[in-house]
Amino acid sequence: MIEFFHEHRVRYREADPMGIVYHTHYLDYFEVARTEALRDVGLPYKSLEDGGVFMPVVDLALSYRRPAKYDDLLVIRTQMTMSESATRVTFDYEVVRKGETDVLVTGHVTLCFFDRKTHRPVRAPEHIASLINEYASGEST
């Protein structure tokens, strides 16, 4: 299983009056980490959409363990897994402070491959499914 790492410094506007990251910002952190993980495997969102591939979010969950705070440097660890049907891809996340091991937040986001005309799930194009499976299995170099 290949892991992707994305760093993010918590900005002032992302914290509540107690200096703790407001919960909805983790979804933004996950989106950026997901976008960069896909870019790293050769699937930037822009090229996916230019090729007619759309991937809406169909499921997500977050679990909070410890608070992240204003000015923390966070590391978002991301792993991706393709469903057996190749219609969905799930991204699993862990958030830690850089240099620490205590997990602050875990979560997952599942996206489906989507036909814009029918608004129905479809199988991922073969080249995309192959790339994701190759990286998810750790076979890529």
107 is a domain residue = yes
The pLDDT of residue 116: 84
Domain that holds residue 105: 4-136
The pLDDT of residue 1: 63
29 is a domain residue = yes
Domain count within the chain: 1
- Tell me the average pLDDT across 25-30: 98
The pLDDT of residue 52: 86
Show Cβ contacts of residue 99 under 8 Å, excluding neighbours closer than 6 positions: none
118 is a domain residue = yes
48 is a domain residue = yes
The pLDDT of residue 105: 98
The DSSP line for 75-130 is EEEEEEEE-TTSSEEEEEEEEEETT---EEEEEEEEEE-EETTTTEE-PPPHHHHH
The residue count of the chain comes to 141
Which CATH number fits the domain that encloses residue 79? 3.10.129.10
The pLDDT tens digits of the residues spanning 42-67 come to 999 899 888 888 999 999 999 999 99
The pLDDT of residue 137: 78
pLDDT of 141 strictly over 60 = no
141 is a domain residue = no
Query: Which is more confidently placed, 19 or 117?
Result: 19
DSSP run (H or E) holding 28: helix 25-40
